[in-house]
Amino acid sequence: MALYYFTKDEPNTTNCSGECLENWPAFYAENLEAPEGFIKDDFGTITREDTGEKQTTYKGYPLYYFVKDEASGDVNGQGVKDVWFIVNSETTFAQ
């Protein structure tokens, strides 16, 4: 499934909680294997302040699924409200 980042997040900090988290569930993989084209060291883990659960990050930014992506290859969350975007090996984050 596609993974997304939220432009309102900050490095190692999630700003998606409550209803947001219902639509954009947190992604976590304990033993993540970096996909082709990615560098394993760019992935990390944070512990969410709101739920206490772990969440995988890419270059410090928390990763999410989108509930309306139902099948492999779906990217229905791309560009939602101009704040949700797919993570790929070309992704750069504004600092």
DSSP string, 23-79: HSPBP--TTPPPPTT--GGGEEEEE-TTT--EEEEETTEE-B--TT--STT--TTTT
pLDDT-based confidence at residue 95 (cuts at 50, 70, 90) = low
Is 94 within a domain?
no
56 beta partners: 45
Is 93 within a domain?
no
pLDDT-based confidence at residue 15 (cuts at 50, 70, 90) = very high
| pLDDT number for residue 91 | 83
| pLDDT number for residue 94 | 65
Total domain count for the chain?
A: 1
| pLDDT number for residue 54 | 98
Q: What percent of the chain has pLDDT over 70?
A: 98
46 beta partners: 55
Domain that includes residue 63, residue range: 1-88
Average of per-residue pLDDT values in the chain: 93
28 is written with which tokens? 């976590």
Asked if the model's pLDDT at residue 69 lies above 90, the reply is yes
